[in-house]
Amino acid sequence: MVSRVIPVETFDLVIFGGTGDLARRKILPGLFRRFLSGQMPPDSRIIGAARSDLDDAGYRNMIAEAIAEFGGVESKDSKGLAAFMGCLHYVPIDATGDTGWARLFDLTREGVIQAFYFSVAPSLFGALAERLHTHKIADDRSRIVVEKPFGRDLESAKALNDTLAAHFKETQIYRIDHYLGKETVQNLMAVRFGNVLFEPLWNNHYVDHIQITVAETVGVGGRGSYYDKSGAMRDMVQNHLMQLLCLIAMEPPAMFGADAVRDEKLKVIRALQPVDYHHIVRGQYDATDTEPSYREDAENPKSFTESFVAMKVNIANWRWAGVPFYLRTGKKLKARSSEIAVVFQDLGHSIFKGDEARHRNILSIRLQPNEGMDLQVTIKEPGPGGMRLIDVPLDMTFADALGPDAEEVPDAYERLIMDVIRGDQTLFMRGDEVEAAWAWTDPLIEGWERRNDVPKLYETGSAGPEDAMMLMHRDGRRWRELKG
């Protein structure tokens, strides 16, 4: 396979919060990989802008250390690293004051693509947007990238949208959901809309149900106090799981373009039915002999915040009426595994005598680990024992299927940043999508708060609370096994 890296145009990327955790762990190591691959033109500039009092040299040292820690094998390329360092600059800036803005104005150039990454707390978005304009740094061709969380309910999301809209057009705003930058998620669209095989079966005539799982083995750790105000519903379901659900369920757009795709996703969110409380299970991880409970991690002994949610969701449209979508996500579970499984219906009639087993085709799309897909198909068990049937996976792990010369799969962040530079909004959430997702989750969260709903405890290292298993068993179905 021939590697095809298409360079983007020269850009200036200002990273507000350029000294923060996200910038050091993801954004800058990702940009370094794009630089090494030849995709980032060497006359581009990355300008860190944050509160710390650093100069260019101090910032380069900080980022070189971050790349050594988080950059993977590429960080050993010292010549490449030295060249990349030449692209880095730093401006100490106060988002809410006057410090640094004149210097930032001097640094940015006319005639190159300009992007501003807001990798800071959302409470600073308004101040940044305003100052970019009053100091005449941004114009109507500039792009801004904003991080999650995009609000904590419909009202705050609307307020954030209004704040940004006061200074930027929707076509300039890139709301990141890094799940959409994962190669497999995009492959989901390629598989659905690039093959004749799946789309005819992708409906309530052939699909029994769909499972979407995002399971983590880690707890809330150092983020406990932040997470406790959010919970799995806000932190994972409203954004990541909802986005995956949209991509699986949406109608084929007329073309692969930003608004065409996002229009179809929005229709899915609007067709989601309200969820019955009996169809949701909230959980909280319990302590073990050696590990703390959620409440200890969150330093809140009375916390009712959920670290796990499982739910059954229905989409009220012609394609999906009657097909349940089961969603689950949680922390401190048995395995780190993110997967979408499309479980097809049973055969109406089996011609094979004595074969009582239920054979099902299952298309599973793995986001992590080992990004890839497999399709479970029924075949004859090899050997002379007569016509015995077994189910085997047709496995397509991308790393294996594409071979050693394939272009290395970029991390979600680096891929998405390159899309920002290319001006492609397809994999970013539009304002109305985010609001529609909150409009659907808000009543559920409010209901729990009103009723002081207490999450069910689950064992660390398990697959979640027993009630989550029951949610499926009641319907005569089973969750897929969590495998790391």
Residues with a known catalytic role: 240
Which position has the token pair 């969750």? 479
Q: Counting contacts by CB under 6 A, is residue 120 touching ligand NAD?
A: yes
The residue within the footprint of ligand NAD, chosen from 8, 13, 36, 50 (CB under 6 A), is 50
Contact between residue 294 and residue 307 where contact means Cβ atoms under 8 Å apart:
yes
Q: How far apart are CA 11 and CA 109, in angstroms?
A: 9
Nearer to ligand NAD among residue 11 and residue 90 (C-beta): 90
- Smallest CA-to-CA distance from 328 within 153, 480, 484, 459 is with 480
3-state secondary structure of 234: helix
The residue within the footprint of ligand NAD, chosen from 3, 96, 134, 273 (CB under 6 A), is 96
Q: Counting contacts by CB under 6 A, is residue 147 touching ligand NAD?
A: yes
- Least Cβ distance, residue 121 to ligand NAD (angstroms): 5
Contact between residue 349 and residue 214 where contact means Cβ atoms under 8 Å apart:
no
Q: Which stretch binds ligand NAD (CB under 6 A): 119-127, 279-287, 288-296, 334-342?
A: 119-127
Nearer to ligand NAD among residue 52 and residue 370 (C-beta): 52
Q: How far apart are CA 107 and CA 92, in angstroms?
A: 13
- Least Cβ distance, residue 117 to ligand NAD (angstroms): 9
Amino acid at 407: E
Nearer to ligand NAD among residue 102 and residue 470 (C-beta): 102
**Which two three-digit tokens encode residue 164?**
């940004």
Q: Which stretch binds ligand NAD (CB under 6 A): 69-77, 92-100, 183-191, 313-321?
A: 92-100
Angle at 56 between CA 52 and CA 59, to 5 degrees: 50
- Least Cβ distance, residue 146 to ligand NAD (angstroms): 8
3-state secondary structure of 114: strand
Residue 132: which region, alpha, beta or left (left: phi > 0; alpha: psi -120 to 50)?
alpha
Q: How far apart are CA 247 and CA 190, in angstroms?
A: 11
Q: Which stretch binds ligand NAD (CB under 6 A): 44-52, 253-261, 269-277, 436-444?
A: 44-52
**Which two three-digit tokens encode residue 77?**
């390329």
- Smallest CA-to-CA distance from 122 within 157, 167, 166 is with 157
Q: Counting contacts by CB under 6 A, is residue 137 touching ligand NAD?
A: no
- Least Cβ distance, residue 189 to ligand NAD (angstroms): 23
Residue count at the site for ligand NAD (CB under 6 A)?
23
Q: How far apart are CA 281 and CA 326, in angstroms?
A: 11
Q: Counting contacts by CB under 6 A, is residue 236 touching ligand NAD?
A: no
Nearer to ligand NAD among residue 17 and residue 431 (C-beta): 17
3-state secondary structure of 386: coil
**Which two three-digit tokens encode residue 109?**
């150039």
In the sheet that holds 173-175, the strands lie side by side as: 88-92, 45-50, 11-16, 113-118, 143-146, 173-175
Q: Counting contacts by CB under 6 A, is residue 69 touching ligand NAD?
A: no
Could you give the string, one character per residue 7-26, with x where binding to ligand NAD holds by CB under 6 A and - elsewhere? ---------xxxxxxxx---
Q: Counting contacts by CB under 6 A, is residue 71 touching ligand NAD?
A: no
Nearer to ligand NAD among residue 215 and residue 412 (C-beta): 412
Q: Which single residue brings its beta carbon nearest to ligand NAD?
A: 20
The residue within the footprint of ligand NAD, chosen from 119, 142, 161, 338 (CB under 6 A), is 119
Which positions lie near ligand NAD, rule CB under 6 A?
16-23, 50-52, 93-96, 119-122, 124, 147-149
